[in-house]
Amino acid sequence: MTTTVRVTPADFAPPSVIPQWGRLTLTVGGLFSAISVGFAVTNWERFLHSWLIAFMFWLGLTLGSLTLLMLQYTSGGNWGRLGRRFWEAATHSLWLMLACWIPIVAGMKLLYPWTHMKPEELGPAKAAYYLNPTLFIVRGIIYFIGWMFLAWRMRRWSKVEEAGQSTPAAFVGIQNLSGAGIVFYGLTVTLASVDWVMSLTPEWWSTVFGMLFMVGQCLSAFAFTIFLLAKLAPREPLSRIFKTDYLHDFGKMMFAFVVLWAYLSFSQWLIIWSGNIVEEIRWYLDRIKGNWQIVVITLIALHFVLPFALLLSRSLKRQARKLVLIALLLMFMRYVDLFWLIVPNFHGHVQWLDIVMNVVTFTAIGGLWLGIFFYKLSQRALLPVNDPHFSEMLEAKHG
């Protein structure tokens, strides 16, 4: 005789430590936001430089989570069901990122040289059809509307499923939307990376620039997910279902995106070096002179060589503590990469004031982002218990 026990969302309610983390990070974010306001008042232009980097990092983590959420709906797999609630909670911060985009719009004339260049300097077609303030704002609004709609639709479907009201036919619709959403994400992130970062040097361009941002965003999301899983796996309720195999799966995907980032970065450098065109190589020359050489070597060593060598080990990817250290290292290096892409447009050398401002703005936005994230994560079950394949995860855990 067999007995079937029904699992409900209440059985996988989040642990009490999550709202505690939320209150702590929100307090830190509020404190550093006040300090950021002081920097903005005293040195608005330099504040904008650091604010843009922090904005791009936390926006990348948000959009990377949205992409993994859509990818999970299109491909399936227990790895995605394990991270779904994390990614859904992360997408709630799109409203915060929209608010953080407003200072960039307000200070665009201090950030982007094309805002005060003559059409003949910029190129009549480029000035008329792309690089002008009105279209810059319009495109940004379109990006956020599209991202917010996709995030809202994914979360709405999740709540319908959690209530036990989903149907196979309706799930096909969400799969199709997710597939289209991934295409929309690729297009908009490419354009946004051109608008918000590449146009800092309007005469320079790269065809893989947008792809580098997409890969970096997904890499950040995977690293953040590994950190959360390692912290929550020993606690109820995640401990009932968590297997080392899941950590191994996320470690393999993080390894794949490390390799892809390195491949795209090297391809971009190789093509520009081979072409040897003055307008193109100047962008790299500005980033390898002076103490920027230290940053370049650090990126090569800690964003690729060391993680690549360590993540080749199967046993290491199954050890939570070591894998978390690599994940945290990669998240830090994602910020260093953005710092290297953006700051040389304004300063010829790394300056201590820039580092201090970057720490403050990063912590300000990050504290608020994490506060919203943990608050939303604490409101729902940590796992999609009404997913049709959730029983497979239970069976895999308990044999």
Of 224, 227, 194, 226, the C-alpha closest to 211 is 194
What pLDDT digit, counting tens, does each position of 17-27 carry? 999 999 999 99
Of 91, 103, 210, 72, the C-alpha closest to 146 is 91
Q: In terms of residues, how long is the chain?
A: 399
Tally of structural domains, the chain: 1
The answer on pLDDT for 178 being more than 50 is yes
**Residue 7 — very low, low, confident or very high, per pLDDT cuts 50/70/90?**
confident
Which of the two residues, 221 and 205, has the higher pLDDT score?
221
Across 203-224, average pLDDT: 95
Across 50-59, average pLDDT: 97
Question: Residue 134: which domain range?
Answer: 11-384
The answer on pLDDT for 2 being more than 50 is no
Mean model confidence pLDDT for the chain: 90
Residue 141 lies in a domain: yes
Across 330-343, average pLDDT: 96
Sign of torsion, CA 154 239 378 30?
A: negative
The answer on pLDDT for 57 being more than 90 is yes
What pLDDT digit, counting tens, does each position of 110-131 carry? 999 999 887 776 776 666 678 8
Contact 65, 151 (CB under 8 A): no
Residue 18 lies in a domain: yes
Residue 399 lies in a domain: no
Contact 39, 54 (CB under 8 A): no
Percent of the chain with pLDDT over 70: 94
The answer on pLDDT for 159 being more than 60 is yes
3-state DSSP: the chain helix, strand, coil percent, rounded to 5? 80, 0, 20
Res 397: pLDDT: 53
Which of the two residues, 381 and 310, has the higher pLDDT score?
310
Res 393: pLDDT: 62
Helix (H, G, I), strand (E, B) or coil at 25: helix
Residue 168 lies in a domain: yes
Which of the two residues, 152 and 353, has the higher pLDDT score?
152
The answer on pLDDT for 3 being more than 60 is no
Residue 391 lies in a domain: no
pTM: 0.94
Residue 306 lies in a domain: yes
**Residue 165 — very low, low, confident or very high, per pLDDT cuts 50/70/90?**
confident
Res 399: pLDDT: 45
Across 334-358, average pLDDT: 89
Residue 191 lies in a domain: yes
Residue 389 lies in a domain: no
